[in-house]
A and B are shown apart, each in its own frame.
Chain A
Amino acid sequence: MIETDRDNSFDPKCVQGNILRGYHYARVRHLVLEVVNAALARRWLSQATDGSGAAPAITTEEEWLIKPASCFNLGFTYDGLKALGVPNASLASFAPEFKAGIARRAVKINDVGESAPENWASPFDTPDRVHIIASVYAEELEELDRVERQVADGLGGDGFAILGRHDGWNFDTDHVHFGYRDSMSQPRFVGVHDSDSYPDKQPLVPIGSMLIGYPTEYQNIRYAVPQPDALGRDGAFNAFRILKQDCAAFERYLDMAADSLLDDQLGEELLPVGDEAKFGPDTSRHAALREIIAAKMCGRWRNGVPLELSPDTPCPPEPVSPTDYDYGDDVRCPFGSHMRRCNPRGSTIVQRAARHTRRLVRRGYPYGGRYDPGKPDDEERGLLGNFICASLAGQFEAMMCDWLNLGLQDPRITGSNDPLLGANEAETSWFAIPLKSGRVIKLRGFPRFVTVRGGAYTFLASIPAIRYIANLER
């Protein structure tokens, strides 16, 4: 194979639109489809690729002049490809972790205990029936309903059974449960126009880290293209995850940790007496400590300001960029914080060979009503997450098993899990907050705040690939 380093010659018309850019709609609906009649399902797919017939047209990477009322994209599981009649030789050419499916990789990504697949909610408790995740993005519920009807009626209704419907919405612009502002930065790609362009100290990502068939961040490695090329090229893989967030437990833990740091020497170093004022007028010491702990655990203040650029206050006197930084020592942003673990940026890491190789496109929408700490309730809430990459094993799973959990990338955090998303148990969890003096606050006793309720490894096939599937004859 001839290596052309800057080969990113993909055609935007051929690539699904939810991979390289964010749509920024207020709402999403993920429909879980089972193929019940492969021939009809294939005919419906054919309509979706060319916008003919009743099926909603699949949104591509092509630039638009006027933003459409909704966007529509499809992810296929391995069982889905099989159900649609993809030949065995093609199926065999997919990466092993995709063939296994997310449920069989559960231990590797620490989906254990309450998060184990046997405890997942319907329809993810029958993973072999989860064939397609069809995602609709729109501003209004009515539009989601309209597109859903396009899936449920006509050919679609006969080809598929809708097993599940998962709605997400931005209840407060970019804020997610636990109160953090999210969705501020995504990888930017070599040679791809970025409509959200913002400054960022991270190197541009070769397109092959997201789209299959192009050079990757590893100088020597391309991820294999599932065969034939028409099926595999220009696709991407996605880890779709339903992540339940225990807001009450999180807020309770912040209270507890802040309590333990009141009247404590280390607490005084963390928040010198008088610095409460930096958090706003009338902010109590307890409230300020809670915010510091929340920020240290995440790597950002809850309002989105990065700790690296504003270590002492969420409201720096001069505005700071939410994205344009690299990490320095751990006094500003702890090595173990969620963001730094999942993407160490330019920091030194143990696995030097793997630097910058585990980037992911993350697109998430909260689900469930906004949590009101004054009125705790039993409603389930969390995040519907898409974690997109060219290799689930090389990027998503590698990040999950060695970095988010275990913490191999830095010897000072090895043996601990991500404080926000990690598979923690109160008996053994720990999180270190280094202080300027060299002393360290070690927080312990936090439970697993985020539980997995379901998910699927899907293939975000290219438009030609969906046409290829649509044209398969049994």
Chain B
Amino acid sequence: MAERDMARHLVDAVIADSPDHKRGTRPAHTIGIGVKGHFRASPVARDWCVAEHFCGREVEASVRFSNSSGSPVQHDGWSDARGMATRFHLSGGGATDLLAMTLREFFSATPEDFLAFAQAAIPRPVEPPRPWRKIADMLRLFPPLPDPYPGQRTSSVGGSMAYSGLHSASQLAAFDASFLGAPVSYARATYNAVHTFIVTAPDGTERYVRFFWQPAAGVEMVNPDLPPIDNYLQAELRDRIANWPVEFLLLMTVGEMGDPLTDPTKAWPLHRMRINMGTLCLTEVPDDQQAHCEQLAFNPGRLTDGIAMSDDPVLIARKAAYELSRELRGGAACPFDAV
């Protein structure tokens, strides 16, 4: 399938997963907030990667935090993945992006599988599980299926669970997704870039790596036993940035012989070599969110000299799909490979 066709299918499939999706908005991660700040590389970052933002000079950064849903209706308190898209502004108007989410792995190892997964995950009406079913589950030592949130009419969870029941590649993501919860703050979650990238060291050594952001304030989730609140994350972030330093550490794990280098459905063990690449400091929530958030179009394939894409087929497909999605909604263009 031609790259462009696949991109089209992927965008359509993601849009189909949110029946109330509004034209002109992002197909997923629709609700978000843009933040400005700066990134300062750690003293050792330059030993591992020659990319400009790892070489000492502080660079400006634009970040967008989001809820993963493509629906225009906000449910901050629902258990779901959150996104953290970061653009590092480089010299000469260049830029590189890093897209991360609270889930540690992706649902599919290929774009074709992702299409099937997205198809399966189309929201279906949900009702509270019948009490007898819960009792039967409890007697089988299964955790009973959760009740929907108050007011929740549809859910994609049943579909994605059923799909991952048959497709082992999706199982880890599906299982981890069921424990995601909702963060008390966008600044109190760990965000994983999931895909493998290839970084080049000053001596020319290329390494297979994965990035993740760790919040300096620590990770905290809301109490799942309390009724969910639909709208608090953006106000919390504004308040936090006005009153507290908001920092994230950028950590890079180095892949090894035997690690799944190009499969985003498999998280690497937590005990891989882990390099502190620098600190992101968020300083301001711009008033003009249209310009500083909604107009921005992030792309996991927007890289710079010193960081390259691995052969991860999902990463490759995402590059084209995000670009197409940007065109469809009229986001600000940022040419690839500005070099």
Contact = CB atoms under 8 A, between A and B. Distances in A.
Chains A and B directly touch (beta carbon < 8 Å): yes
Interface of A: 112, 415, 417, 423-425, 427-429, 442, 444
Nearest to A417: B257
Interface in B131-157: none
A425 B257 contact: yes
A427 B208 contact: yes
With most chain A CB atoms within 10 A of its CB, the pick from B206, B255, B257, B258 is: B257
Contacts of B281: none
B326 to A, nearest CB: 31
A423 B258 CA distance: 9
A429 B205 contact: no
With most chain A CB atoms within 10 A of its CB, the pick from B206, B255, B258, B259 is: B258
Contacts of B205: 442, 444
Interface in B252-267: 255-259, 261
With most chain B CB atoms within 10 A of its CB, the pick from A428, A429, A444 is: A428
Given A442-B205, A444-B205, A427 B258 contact: no
Nearest to B203: A442
A27 to B, nearest CB: 37
Contacts of B258: 112, 423, 425
A417 B206 CA distance: 18
Contacts of A444: 205-206
Nearest to B208: A427
Contacts of B261: 427
Contacts of A442: 203, 205
A415 B273 CA distance: 11
Interface in B50-98: none
Contacts of B257: 417, 423-425, 428-429
A442 B203 CA distance: 10
A235 B255 CA distance: 43
B77 to A, nearest CB: 42
Nearest to B196: A427
A164 B274 CA distance: 48
B253 to A, nearest CB: 13
The 8 closest A-B pairs by CB, nearest first: A428-B257, A425-B257, A427-B208, A427-B261, A428-B256, A444-B205, A424-B257, A428-B255
Contacts of A423: 257-258
Nearest to B207: A428
A350 B99 CA distance: 42
With most chain B CB atoms within 10 A of its CB, the pick from A427, A428, A429, A444 is: A427
Contacts of B208: 427-428
Contacts of B256: 415, 428
Give the interface SS of chain A, mostly helix, strand, loop or mixed. Answer: loop
Contacts of A425: 257-258
21 contacts: A112-B258, A415-B256, A417-B257, A423-B257, A423-B258, A424-B257, A425-B257, A425-B258, A427-B208, A427-B255, A427-B261, A428-B208, A428-B255, A428-B256, A428-B257, A428-B259, A429-B257, A442-B203, A442-B205, A444-B205, A444-B206
Contacts of A415: 256
A425 B208 CA distance: 12
A427 B260 CA distance: 11
Give the interface SS of chain B, mostly helix, strand, loop or mixed. Answer: loop
A265 B302 CA distance: 35
A424 B256 CA distance: 10
A424 B258 CA distance: 9
Contacts of A427: 208, 255, 261
Nearest to A406: B257
A444 B207 CA distance: 11
A382 B1 CA distance: 41
A11 to B, nearest CB: 47
Contacts of A428: 208, 255-257, 259
A429 B258 CA distance: 11
Nearest to A429: B257
Contacts of B203: 442
A428 B255 CA distance: 8
Nearest to B257: A428
A423 B259 CA distance: 13
A444 B255 CA distance: 15
Interface in B231-281: 255-259, 261
B34 to A, nearest CB: 36
A427 B259 CA distance: 10
Nearest to B254: A428
A395 to B, nearest CB: 24
A424 B205 CA distance: 16
Nearest to B273: A415
A427 B205 CA distance: 10
A265 to B, nearest CB: 12
Interface in B35-50: none
Nearest to B261: A427
A417 B261 CA distance: 18
Contacts of A417: 257
Nearest to B255: A428
Given A428-B259, A429-B257, A444-B206, 17 more contacts: A112-B258, A417-B257, A423-B257, A423-B258, A424-B257, A425-B257, A425-B258, A427-B208, A427-B255, A427-B261, A428-B208, A428-B255, A428-B256, A428-B257, A442-B203, A442-B205, A444-B205
A354 B191 CA distance: 44
B275 to A, nearest CB: 15
Nearest to A416: B257
A444 B259 CA distance: 17
A427 B312 CA distance: 14
A429 B207 CA distance: 10
A429 B205 CA distance: 11
Interface in B162-216: 203, 205-206, 208
Contacts of B255: 427-428
A112 B259 CA distance: 12
B63 to A, nearest CB: 31
Contacts of A429: 257
A423 B256 CA distance: 12
A417 B258 CA distance: 12
A257 B303 CA distance: 29
A427 B311 CA distance: 12
B263 to A, nearest CB: 13
Contacts of A424: 257
A281 B257 CA distance: 41
A230 to B, nearest CB: 44
A306 B203 CA distance: 31
A336 to B, nearest CB: 14
